[in-house]
Amino acid sequence: MEITYREAIVAAQREALKNDDRVMVMGEDIGVSGGPFKTTVGLFEEFGGARVRDTPICEEAFVGAAMGMAVTGRRPIVELMFADFMGVCFDQIVNGIAKHRFMCGGKVMVPLVIRTMGGGGTRFGAQHSQTGETWVSQFPGLKVVCAADPSDAYNMLRWAIKEDNPVIVLEHKFLFTRTQDVDLDAPISADILTPAVLRQGNDVTIVATLAMVERALAAAETLAAKGINVEVINLRCLRPLNMEPILESVRKTNRLLCVEENHSTGGWGGEVAARTTSEAFDYLDAPPERLTLPDWPMPYSPELEDAAMPSADKVVETVVAMLT
């Protein structure tokens, strides 16, 4: 069925609410209004205010309340309006939710999903344009997934709701109108966490997440016209990080480029590059490269924001330089 990224998110939540009375959705303006980005449209009318619950503008409070619900038998889905707002409730996420099962000796599960939208390109400025990927991916106890297309958005969220551990589902605001044929009856599977090779190639391995995946694919088309064939991998899951598909690709292409919408320092690309160097050093014909945001906050000016974002043209330039 051809649906948008936004509709895929709604469909996954509707399925869960329909099939499991323990599931509930909560967040700011997610009830009657259908969510600030319309990712809960129709759910309030179908399931009522007790299960699709508007919250005050207090992320620390309602994320903490969701943890309490999770450890006492519910399966809450929390929507944070912007990924940047994870900073407001960071203590609840990394010191409470992430560690609770460990501190209870594994006896208490925390089946909780936090959905949040991030990323640049939509003119929201410095405080509403971060992806949050690297903020949460280093903490044991959390699972962190990144939806790069409608199929990812649908299947990752379905899997996350069934998972007995806390999952952060990162979405990208720039992708909400993207469409794709999605099998709404596909089985729920952890295979959605495996990095996906979206395009085969022999010259360079490109690894990307979220909106950078489609930019990497666009760059691949341009590079193919130049006689350069790159392999594009949608990383999908930051924690746990499955390196094997990446290493297998690098053993073939002998070069690695990580494209991420994060600053270079502390970005996930550094981890991927380090582990590739450690585990596939003999296969590398050149040092791994990274294409990231510059080392300053996201500008509000459209021209400056576009210049800051990794683009398909920048991917092309970087790949050509790697092969020169």
Let me know: does 164 contact 100? Beta carbons within 8 Å: no
137, 108, 117: which is closest to 39 by C-alpha? 117
Which domains occur in the chain, in start order?
2-193 (3.40.50.970), 196-323 (3.40.50.920)
Please give the pLDDT value at position 147. 98
Give CA–CA dist 150/136, Å, rounded.
23
Burial of 29 (0-12, 13-18, 19+ CB in 10 A): middle
Q: Which of 7, 15, 28, 59 is catalytic?
A: 59
Please give the pLDDT value at position 181. 97
Our answer to whether residue 305 is catalytic in this structure is no
Please give the pLDDT value at position 200. 98
Please give the pLDDT value at position 55. 97
264, 318, 310: which is closest to 287 by C-alpha? 318
Give CA–CA dist 282/250, Å, rounded.
10
Tens digits of residue pLDDT in 11-29: 999 999 999 999 999 999 9
Please give the pLDDT value at position 31. 96
Our answer to whether residue 100 is catalytic in this structure is no
Buried b (16+ CB within 10 A) or exposed e, 263-299: eeeebbbbbbbeebeeebeeebeeebbbbbbeeeebb
Strand 52-54 to strand 2-4: parallel, antiparallel, or no bridges (unpaired)?
A: unpaired
120, 311, 324, 287: which is closest to 216 by C-alpha? 311
Average pLDDT, consecutive stretches of 10 residues, N- to C-terminus, the chain (324 residues):
97 98 98 96 97 96 97 98 97 97 96 98 94 96 98 98 98 97 96 97 98 98 98 98 98 98 96 98 97 96 96 98 96
Burial of 197 (0-12, 13-18, 19+ CB in 10 A): middle
Q: Which of 28, 100, 128, 133 is catalytic?
A: 128
**Per-position DSSP letters for 49-81, written without gaps between them:** TTTEEE--S-HHHHHHHHHHHHHTT-EEEEEES
Strand 2-4 to strand 179-181: parallel, antiparallel, or no bridges (unpaired)?
A: antiparallel
